Structure 1
Amino acid sequence: MSTFGALRRQLDDAAETFAGSPGALSEILTGMVDDVDRALGERLEIFPVCHHSPASALAMARRLRDKQPQVIYLELCEDLRPLLDELRTCRLPVALQAFATELDGFPESWGPLSVVAPITEASAEYQAIAYALDTPGVELVLVDRSSDHVFQWHPREEPGRPAEEAALHGDAVGVEIGDLRPRFAELEEHLLHHGKVRHWSEWWDQYVEQPLAGADYDTYRQVMVLIGGLFRRLRPHDAAKLDRDEDRERHMWTRMREHLAATGADPERCLYVCGAFHAASRVEEFGLDAARTDFEISPRTATNWLYGLIPSSHSAIEAQFGLAPGSVSIAAATYDKAVSRGGVKPYTLKGQQKGRRPGTKPPAAPVAVADQLSEFLSKPAQRDPLDEAELLGWCVDIVRLARRNGYLSSTADAIAVYETSILLAGMRGRARPTLYDFQDAAVTCIEKDTVPGRRDVRRLCEIMLGGDRIGEVGYQSMPPLAQDVFERLAPLGYDMTKRAVHRVLLDLNADPELEPCSHLLWVLRRLMPEHAVRPIMGSRRLGERSVQESWDVALGHHQRALIELGYEGVTVEQVLEQRLRRSVWEPKATAADALQAVEEAILFLGGRRFTDELGARAVELLAAERSVDDAPDVLRRVRRLLAHYRATEPALPEWCERFVTTGYAQYCTLLPTAFVAEDVGVRQVAAMLGFLASMESLALSLGCDRAQLELAVRQSHPETPGKIALLWAARFQLGVLTIGELRERCAELLANPLVVPSFPQYLSGFVQALEAAPVLTPFVVEVISGAFARLPDEVLLPWLPTLIQTLREEAPELVPVLIREAGRTFPATLTAVDAWVPPWTAPSGPGGAEVATATGAGAAGGPVTGLLAAHPAAADALAALLGCEGGWKTLTPAGSAPGHDASGGSPEVAALVARHPATVDAVAALLCGGAAV
């Protein structure tokens, strides 16, 4: 007869009484009993657990001491087994991690792949791991699917469960033992409502944890399997999730049978630790004597998986697995209290805490399973007596902590919390207040309606109970890269065991041997999160060298990021090189990205070979681009790189020359289209013109043809105001327009009331044009000044916000250039304003105003000529520096008389002018509008 025959008949009668017929309810109730009977009747002992459950951890410790198993099969990813030996050097909680960036067989959008399995002290799996690793002759076998199979079995549209809130775990897929939670919302809501609790963690603590904390082993095992069977049978029908759960069970039983067949181990001396949900499995492969044993495990993909330990925390576990905030901390406090009371001696890995040794009792003989489940379900709930001393201690501690955090709490609040805790427990059917009752009472009596500081009372309760414990990975368990980082930072006196922010001061002139530490900190700044390594003083840019530096180093807070760097290489320099190479070869890489990679390679890595490789890639990307969105970034970066190479190298690298010639031809080709394209802004077109103008001399010396640019400008026909102003500036730069013609066009715009509202956009175009034609700076100041002088207030005042916003958004770096020019143009004192004459209105010889504005020099006899005549020594010194022979020659105005010797007496120059009079006439007309030679 079945062990649970009487209980099955009792449940059948109850189903018929309450439901009117045996039907579906009877099937569910008796099916749960069948699950218990099947699990407990298996030759291989099954130990059902719930993840991070103190009751499971205590029951595991008791059972291990009684049974002393020789083989433990544990529900964890089988490829994580080598990491377990490294737990000795760590402070829990930590997480086992499998990490992959180079994917094979998975969509690229999933990368990087990450699987974590957190381990806490208050967990049954830690007890099993500690027992197996510290007991000679005991073998620990992980039997769950590998990290590769975790993603193989995921639907293609569902790469993993996101966990943005879990900072220490990131978006890794969590693997846990014993996910005991209702699989649909209706059941969970029903249990919470009738249990008079707020969330699932509190329900579990009240109705499962507390009753099972002191229960015997048979009762614990039968109840856990019963709960697992209930949730399994009441879950909604989801074929995909059902298949994954059952495939995991088939995988585990297949691995256990394979191990038993290979080693010949006695099943009576083995223990199978799995979640209670899987203990109630109904797959055909269940058990050592299963009817079906032909489940085929698919091979792993060629994805290269890397393994390591990362720090974890209670809050990270709660966020990743959807637990209530504070529930893991409460579970840890419950576990610590149970251990301190005695009755059970848990296992601890040697190296984490001394003085603990596994028990040496002889193994217990197997006993027949008795029906403890009927008694447990039929007897009324045991009402624990009120522990007044414990509750009083909680109330005093929370009031003391609240006062430290700015709350005006007193002894009266402590009394109120005490009484309210008892009241809430009574309303919820409990004689003894739990930590959840105490939390609610503290919030009600202390916090009231205001939070004076950063922490609310619920958070203070968690801190009082131990806080958010954050684990730490030991030095020996870190990858070589992390160990190398700490060794190289040793001269700074950095203590890796401290989580506090460490302030580092470096005087590189007084201590040149600290240069390698400075270099390492800058590389870490590039690779790690923002606050892991933060410079307070000092910078690293091309052409700069910091004499003194100050850093805030918080590697203890960012152990996970440092450890994951170790998955990518042996040193941080190798990781940076790999990332830079990968960034320029990815499909969406641009020429600007490649130039940034070149700059970072120069700053952090040095060496010519790698920078030349990145530079050659930049040339390829620029030649292939059909968009000019990154033109401003390209212009800024290539200017900086050219300045660096000209200052440090005897000649430009070959890739720089090819980049200039390729960019000149590319932007000349794209210029007409960019002028009329609606999706190309004024800033992008201005950057293209700036590239063409600033790189023109170098490009022409390398074989480019200026006719390309002239033809491109002629083919450009913009329609928007900003681009029209850019085209006028480009034509001025090419000599097609004069400054006088630009002045006339701007005057026409200001005189047209229909154009005045859009005049700020013309100004923005002129400001942007300073990238290509900086000589126009005085003219832009003139145009802005003229607008302020001519426009009436009813037009000017509404126009000013648009002008300011346009300049701020489109030309913020060029506004200081205009301000400096205005400072040189306008008088410095208020008294000088009345007598001040704008330079663009003062005549200076033939066409003098035009010449003064466009060139900064007057016509013959102007200020420049007078300055040279007054100080001939400067001109002689410059001529000698350039290798020109001959003394000072008195300059006479060009075009003063027909046939005048424009060279000032030099026969060679006179002969040259005579042979090419058209050139001299053109120059004279451009500068002075003067007579022909």
Structure 2
Amino acid sequence: MSGAFDALRTQLREAAATFADGPDALEGILLGIVDDVDRAQREPLEIFPVCHHSPASAIAMARRLRQKQPKVVYLELCEDMAPLLTELRNCRLPVAVQAFATEVEGFPAEWSPLSVVAPITEASAEYQAIAYALETPGVELVLVDRSSDHVFQWEAGEAEPADPDAPPAEEEAALHGDAIGVEIGDLRPRFGELEEHLLRHGRVRHWSEWWHQYVELPLGDSDHDAYRQVMLLIGSLFRRLAPGDPRRVRVDEDRERYMWTRMREHLAATGADPADCLYVCGAFHAASRVAEFGVHGTDTFEIGPPSASKWQHGLIPSSNAAIEAQFGLAAGSVSIAATEWAKNLKRTKVQPFRLAGQAGAKKKPGKTAPPVDPAPTGPSDKLSGFLQRPPVVDRLDEAELLGWSVDIVRAARRNGYLASTADAIAVFETSILLAGMRDRAKPTPYDFQDAAITCIEKDAVPGRRDVRRLVEIMMGGDRIGQVGYDALPPLARDVHDRLAPLELKLQQRGVQRALLDIASRPELAQCSDVLWMLRYLLPHGAARPIMGERRLGERPIQESWDVALGTHQRALIELGYEGVSIEQVLEQRLRSAAYGPHATTATVLEAVEDATLYLRSRRLANELGTRALEVLATERSVDGAPEVLRRVRRLLAYYRTSEPVLPPWIESFVKTGYAHYCTLLPTAFTDEDATIDQVAAMLGFLFSMEGLALSLGCDRAQLELAFAQSHPQEPAKLALLWAAQVQLGQLSRAELRERCDELLGNPLVVPVYPRYLSGFVHALEPVPGLTDFVVEAVSNAFRRLPDPVLLPWLPSLISTLRSGGAELAPMLIREAGRIFPDRLAALDEWVPPWLAQPAPEAVQPRRTPRGSGAALLAAHPATCDAVADLLGCDGMWQTADPGGAGAELLGRYPETAAALAELLAKP
């Protein structure tokens, strides 16, 4: 066999000497390629080189399998994915076999979750091999490529991070998520200048078009030997001209060593004859030069152990667009390949292999053709004839091209284009013209696509789809796969079973409306629970409420949902890798958020609320509440104070109305929070990083929780001491401090009004007066009773300030109120509506209530006989002792004469004496 390519070697050696400066460099490359082909041809275990999603490879594979009928098929695919291949019967292609790991050990935590996918289409050689092995009795399918764990061990360490500024992928293109793609036969030049040279001289735009024109079409009708030798030639050429990236070369060679080591292990364990085996791999790996190559290669390669990561496996839906986006193929190339596959089947009469029970498969498998063994003398040199043969000139199929032209005009009309019969004629003629300019007698789908864009799209796209997309749809469209019910993980099947009362086609893509009348059908309450949990766990749009909401302490009556589980099937399947039920997954997510390294008090309280809202789990809520208490005790900032206040208030209101007693954790949280915020309050008033809303939230927590905190044993002196140590300089925080002092009784409203009048009367302070008002507006959170005073402060500013001062000051006021008090503005508006007149005519005579207050009448001192006060106190010592206790006075009773100090004190304060007398006179 070694002499089969001697004539070709002689011709290449003469060509190298003629066209190169010296025979060494070029001759070494050309003769090395022939040696690679010869070596692979002489291997006892037949190597079948393929290219991913290539119709020519699929046709050649189906033909060879029916001829050879091997007993063992070795396939280049991750070895840990083997148990899932039988589930392909329950799916509609294209789908992807996925390995998924959420519990990552041995890899950086930021890589989690790890995901590897291997997409499979019907027009692919790997599917033909899988279907043959699974449907033919006595045939063993062995996956020999590295495991999913080794994919990340070898490649992910050098992977480039995703571009955060990249535009979001389309829905169909995002079906694989951010998974690493694994495919059979990644056959593309890795030498950029070589690819550019091929595209330029081939007069094509991208690699997919070059491959279709110069490889797919010529190999579509070739025999087995010619196909193998040409594919080995291309693989060896691209391999020898690839740049010498050490990491890429190491990974490629390690994969080849891995696969040949696994095959020799299997041959030794089973005693299988290599002549009865078939090795299906990419053409790039078929022309390998590693020492482990072949049945008789060395056994020096040691396969490292996998990491401790726990891998889950399943099938996820895929699509033509997802495959193109993940592997860098031209848009529409996979759809065109599927169309070419269907045409090749009709032309060659090759019977493909399909899994029984799959969409498009026959109920009973057809009869297998009798084996046709190849000639025993071995393959001859088919490369010389293939390389010297002139290109085949295909005759123009006018009927096919005319049908394309009519169909694209019809599709363009439906999508808003003003296309006519003249455009169909123009597309027809332009396709022939473009093919002639590119040295092609028969227009390819790519020529037709360019002609349609030129003649129909012109300069505007009236609808959602452009002409390029319309051509793709017409050629077969973006076929989207589906994983059948039986192939779903237990969690996904459980979701479908629990949503069965809705009577929806959950496997169907698109949005479906679900109406839940829970009042008349109480069993739908369980469906509502599932939908709310799915809304929390799945991406936006998978389950979207149209009517109805879920709040603490409320029960739903009616709900309306938009459900699109078929569209988001991948996300639902990946939930199944995290647990056996959505409740378990939700609990894990909540624990992960609460115990994560970046967890804050607000995030943990959110987890507590979600556990109560969606799971109704008192046990989990108590556990997470205790965690919130721990996180609060360690925080040294007030960044999350507003969110903490809102969530604690909601939880307290819920527990007070639904529980007989408060949970211990929330009582401890209130006590700890009271002391915590009292400690941080003086610093927050002076810290420039602490915003006004954060300080207001701290005060809101202290004032609203004060009663509960004091009843639980807190000391109010902590709060008074915190205010004594607070000395803010910023106007908004100073106004907030004044409002808090009014709430504490340290400052009266009259004194606060005087301070505001002083600010308005000081021309140096007037420009920053809006910031004081911002502080007063934020003070409505802890001190809502000051709403009328804030309305008064704003009104006084408009009443007192002249227009030259007010007009430049007004935009600042509006922007300050909008940015800093948007949530509290409704309170001001309601109060202003209550105070101001409701008619314009009454405004002229209207007097503000704070200006209409009558002056306090002078109190005439009431003369009391000296000694009557002392006699009154002496007559009722118990009452006096009670009042003294309330006032915090300690002392002993002393005897005093009528003219003593007590009578003199009561004479000085006759109102107090009169009030005590009236109190004692009541029965």
TM-score normalised by the chain length of structure 1 = 0.91
Q: Are positions 1:289 and 2:299 aligned together?
A: no
Q: Distance in 2 between matches of 1:130 and 1:918?
A: 93
Cα deviation for residue 809 of structure 1 reads 2.4
Aligned partner of 2:183 in structure 1 is 176
* Helix, strand or coil at the partner of 1:550: strand
Cα deviation for residue 764 of structure 1 reads 1.3
Q: Distance in 1 between matches of 2:179 and 2:765?
A: 58
Cα deviation for residue 361 of structure 1 reads 1.1
2:864·2:910 contact (CA, 8 Å) conserved in 1?
A: no
2:507·2:565 contact (CA, 8 Å) conserved in 1?
A: no
Cα deviation for residue 907 of structure 1 reads 7.0
Q: Are positions 1:693 and 2:703 aligned together?
A: yes
For residues 252-271 of structure 1, the aligned pairs below 5 Å read 252-271=259-278
Aligned partner of 2:899 in structure 1 is none
Q: Distance in 1 between matches of 2:774 and 2:366?
A: 78
Cα deviation for residue 817 of structure 1 reads 0.8
Deviations 1:541-577, CA, capped at 9 Å, x for gaps: 1133332111111101010011111111111111111
Cα deviation for residue 897 of structure 1 reads 7.4
Deviations 1:716-741, CA, capped at 9 Å, x for gaps: 22222221212222222222222222
Aligned partner of 1:644 in structure 2 is 654
Q: Distance in 2 between matches of 1:463 and 1:598?
A: 48
Which one-letter code corresponds to 1:330 in the other structure?
Answer: I
Deviations 1:601-659, CA, capped at 9 Å, x for gaps: 11111132111111111111111111211100000000000000001111110001000
Aligned partner of 2:366 in structure 1 is 357
Aligned partner of 2:22 in structure 1 is 21
Q: Distance in 2 between matches of 1:907 and 1:115?
A: 89
Q: Distance in 1 between matches of 2:208 and 2:770?
A: 62
Which one-letter code corresponds to 1:490 in the other structure?
Answer: A
Aligned partner of 2:153 in structure 1 is 152
Q: Distance in 1 between matches of 2:180 and 2:582?
A: 26
Q: Distance in 2 between matches of 1:551 and 1:312?
A: 26
Q: Distance in 2 between matches of 1:440 and 1:895?
A: 105
Structure 1 residues 478 and 598: CA distance shift in structure 2, 3 A: same
Q: Are positions 1:823 and 2:828 aligned together?
A: no
Which one-letter code corresponds to 2:730 in the other structure?
Answer: T
1:72·1:270 contact (CA, 8 Å) conserved in 2?
A: yes
Cα deviation for residue 60 of structure 1 reads 0.4
For residues 536-685 of structure 1, the aligned pairs below 5 Å read 536-685=546-695
Cα deviation for residue 93 of structure 1 reads 0.3
Deviates more, 1:358-367 or 1:111-120: 358-367
Structure 1 residues 898 and 686: CA distance shift in structure 2, 3 A: farther
Cα deviation for residue 365 of structure 1 reads 4.3
**Which among 238, 245, 263 is matched to residue 231 of structure 1?**
238
Q: Distance in 1 between matches of 2:308 and 2:840?
A: 78
Cα deviation for residue 44 of structure 1 reads 0.8
Structure 1 residues 648 and 438: CA distance shift in structure 2, 3 A: same
Which one-letter code corresponds to 2:200 in the other structure?
Answer: H
Cα deviation for residue 23 of structure 1 reads 2.8
* Helix, strand or coil at the partner of 2:74: strand
Deviations 1:876-909, CA, capped at 9 Å, x for gaps: xxxxxxxxxxxxxxxxx999777999xx999799
Structure 1 residues 604 and 279: CA distance shift in structure 2, 3 A: same
2:208·2:329 contact (CA, 8 Å) conserved in 1?
A: yes
1:222·1:373 contact (CA, 8 Å) conserved in 2?
A: yes
Cα deviation for residue 438 of structure 1 reads 0.3
1:310·1:559 contact (CA, 8 Å) conserved in 2?
A: yes
* Helix, strand or coil at the partner of 1:496: coil
Deviations 1:800-841, CA, capped at 9 Å, x for gaps: 333233222222221111111111111111222122211112
Structure 1 residues 645 and 834: CA distance shift in structure 2, 3 A: same
Structure 1 residues 758 and 896: CA distance shift in structure 2, 3 A: farther
* Helix, strand or coil at the partner of 1:3: helix
1:502·1:552 contact (CA, 8 Å) conserved in 2?
A: yes
Q: Distance in 1 between matches of 2:910 and 2:738?
A: 24
Cα deviation for residue 422 of structure 1 reads 0.4
Q: Distance in 2 between matches of 1:645 and 1:55?
A: 68
Aligned partner of 2:349 in structure 1 is 343
State how many pairs are aligned: 878
1:229·1:280 contact (CA, 8 Å) conserved in 2?
A: yes
Structure 1 residues 907 and 411: CA distance shift in structure 2, 3 A: farther
* Helix, strand or coil at the partner of 1:760: helix
Aligned partner of 2:916 in structure 1 is none
Structure 1 residues 932 and 276: CA distance shift in structure 2, 3 A: same
Structure 1 residues 603 and 102: CA distance shift in structure 2, 3 A: same
Q: Are positions 1:520 and 2:526 aligned together?
A: no
Aligned partner of 1:498 in structure 2 is 508
Q: Distance in 2 between matches of 1:177 and 1:489?
A: 38
Q: Distance in 1 between matches of 2:35 and 2:804?
A: 89
Q: Are positions 1:811 and 2:788 aligned together?
A: no
Deviations 1:4-52, CA, capped at 9 Å, x for gaps: 1221221122122112211322221221111111111111110111111
Q: Distance in 2 between matches of 1:897 and 1:279?
A: 119
1:131·1:358 contact (CA, 8 Å) conserved in 2?
A: no
1:347·1:358 contact (CA, 8 Å) conserved in 2?
A: no
Deviates more, 1:154-163 or 1:529-538: 154-163
* Helix, strand or coil at the partner of 1:101: strand
Aligned partner of 1:725 in structure 2 is 735
Q: Distance in 1 between matches of 2:3 and 2:815?
A: 84
For residues 874-893 of structure 1, the aligned pairs below 5 Å read none
* Helix, strand or coil at the partner of 2:4: coil
Deviates more, 1:258-267 or 1:205-214: 205-214
1:68·1:364 contact (CA, 8 Å) conserved in 2?
A: no
Structure 1 residues 157 and 746: CA distance shift in structure 2, 3 A: farther
- State the percentage of identical aligned residues: 67
Aligned partner of 1:846 in structure 2 is 856
Deviates more, 1:470-479 or 1:16-25: 16-25
Aligned partner of 2:438 in structure 1 is 428
Aligned partner of 1:245 in structure 2 is 252
1:71·1:139 contact (CA, 8 Å) conserved in 2?
A: yes
2:550·2:613 contact (CA, 8 Å) conserved in 1?
A: yes
1:110·1:159 contact (CA, 8 Å) conserved in 2?
A: no
Q: Distance in 2 between matches of 1:403 and 1:581?
A: 54
Q: Distance in 2 between matches of 1:758 and 1:338?
A: 80
Structure 1 residues 785 and 134: CA distance shift in structure 2, 3 A: same
Structure 1 residues 50 and 844: CA distance shift in structure 2, 3 A: same
For residues 293-308 of structure 1, the aligned pairs below 5 Å read 293-308=299-314
Q: Are positions 1:185 and 2:192 aligned together?
A: yes
Q: Distance in 2 between matches of 1:674 and 1:421?
A: 73
1:151·1:159 contact (CA, 8 Å) conserved in 2?
A: no
2:101·2:115 contact (CA, 8 Å) conserved in 1?
A: yes
Structure 1 residues 898 and 178: CA distance shift in structure 2, 3 A: farther
Cα deviation for residue 912 of structure 1 reads 5.7
For residues 317-328 of structure 1, the aligned pairs below 5 Å read 317-328=323-334
Q: Distance in 1 between matches of 2:805 and 2:365?
A: 86
Cα deviation for residue 755 of structure 1 reads 2.7
Cα deviation for residue 795 of structure 1 reads 3.0
Which one-letter code corresponds to 2:668 in the other structure?
Answer: R
* Helix, strand or coil at the partner of 2:513: strand
Structure 1 residues 769 and 251: CA distance shift in structure 2, 3 A: same
Provide structure 1 residue ranges, at least 5 long, that are not aligned to the other structure.
Answer: 848-859, 861-892, 921-928
Q: Distance in 2 between matches of 1:8 and 1:245?
A: 27
Q: Distance in 2 between matches of 1:124 and 1:826?
A: 81
**Which among 763, 780, 785 is matched to residue 775 of structure 1?**
785
Cα deviation for residue 342 of structure 1 reads 4.2
For residues 847-862 of structure 1, the aligned pairs below 5 Å read none
Aligned partner of 1:93 in structure 2 is 94
2:506·2:564 contact (CA, 8 Å) conserved in 1?
A: no
Structure 1 residues 27 and 894: CA distance shift in structure 2, 3 A: farther
Q: Are positions 1:836 and 2:837 aligned together?
A: no
Provide structure 2 residue ranges, at least 5 long, that are not aligned to the other structure.
Answer: 890-908, 914-923
Which one-letter code corresponds to 1:343 in the other structure?
Answer: K
